[in-house]
Amino acid sequence: MATSSAPGKIYVMGEHAVVYGEPAVLCAVERRARVTVRERSDGGLRVDSEDLTLDGFTIEYGASAGEDTNVDVPEHLLEAATGYVDEAVAQARDAADAPDAGFEVEIHSDIPLGAGLGSSAAVVVAAIDAATRELGVELDREEIADRAYQVEHSVQDGQASRADTFTSTMGGAVRVEGDGGEPIPAPDLPLVVGYDGGAGDTGKLVSGVRELRDRYEFAADTVETIGDLVEEGENVLADGDLDELGELMDVNHGLLSALGVSSRSLDAMVWAARDAGAKGAKLVGAGGGGCIVALDDTDESETALEYTPGCEEAFRAELAEDGVRPE
Tell me the pLDDT tens digit for each residue of 126-145.
999 999 999 999 999 999 99
- Give the Cα separation of 230 and 241 in Å (integer): 14
The domain spanning residue 276 has which CATH number? Answer: 3.30.70.890
What's the pLDDT at 169? 96
Which of 70-74, 197-201, 216-220, 244-248 is predicted with the least confidence, judged by mean pLDDT?
70-74
- Give the Cα separation of 183 and 185 in Å (integer): 7
Which of 86, 129, 164, 296 is labelled catalytic? 164
What's the pLDDT at 54? 35
The residues that bridge with 32 in the sheet, in sequence order, are 7
Domain that holds residue 222: 191-317
CA dihedral for 214, 217, 222, 225, sign (positive or negative): positive
CA dihedral for 260, 265, 268, 271, sign (positive or negative): negative
Task: Check pLDDT > 80 for residue 288.
Answer: yes
Which of 24, 22, 21, 29 is CA-nearest to residue 12?
Answer: 24
Distance of CA 59 to the CA centre of its chain: 24
Report the greatest alpha carbon distance in the chain: 58
Task: Check pLDDT > 70 for residue 50.
Answer: no
Q: At what angle do helices 242-258 and 264-275 cross, to 10 degrees?
A: 160
CB contact at 8 A, 310 and 180 = no
pLDDT band for 68, please (50, 70, 90 cuts). very low
Note whether 260 and 309 are same-domain residues.
yes
Note whether 94 and 212 are same-domain residues.
no
- Give the Cα separation of 10 and 292 in Å (integer): 9
Residues 6+ positions from 50 with CB-CB distance below 8 Å? 56, 107, 108
Mean pLDDT of 256-263: 95
- Give the Cα separation of 167 and 162 in Å (integer): 8
Distance of CA 182 to the CA centre of its chain: 17
Burial class (CB in 10 A: 0-12, 13-18, 19+), 283: buried
- Give the Cα separation of 116 and 153 in Å (integer): 17
Say whether 299 is catalytic: no
**Residue 202 resides in a domain:** yes
pLDDT band for 78, please (50, 70, 90 cuts). low
Note whether 297 and 211 are same-domain residues.
yes
Note whether 145 and 50 are same-domain residues.
yes
Exposure b/e, 309-325, CB count within 10 A at least 16 = b: ebbeebeebbbbeebbe
Task: Check pLDDT > 50 for residue 38.
Answer: yes
Note whether 228 and 168 are same-domain residues.
no
Mean pLDDT of 272-286: 95
CB contact at 8 A, 168 and 4 = no
Mean pLDDT of 243-249: 96
Domains in the chain, number: 2
Which of 195, 189, 150, 194 is CA-nearest to residue 173?
Answer: 189
- Give the Cα separation of 270 and 252 in Å (integer): 12
Note whether 113 and 245 are same-domain residues.
no
Residue 319 DSSP symbol: B
Mean pLDDT of 255-270: 96
Q: pLDDT, tens digit, for every residue of 165-224?
A: 999 999 999 999 988 889 988 888 999 999 998 877 777 888 899 999 999 999 999 999
What's the pLDDT at 51? 54
Mean pLDDT of 274-283: 97
What's the pLDDT at 41? 85
Report the percentage of the chain scoring pLDDT > 70.
Answer: 89
pLDDT band for 159, please (50, 70, 90 cuts). low
**Residue 327 resides in a domain:** no
The domain spanning residue 40 has which CATH number? Answer: 3.30.230.10
Burial class (CB in 10 A: 0-12, 13-18, 19+), 147: buried
pTM score of the predicted model? 0.84
| Segment holding 28, helix H or strand E | strand 24-40
Task: Check pLDDT > 50 for residue 23.
Answer: yes
Mean pLDDT of 283-300: 93
- Give the Cα separation of 147 and 142 in Å (integer): 9
pLDDT band for 34, please (50, 70, 90 cuts). very high
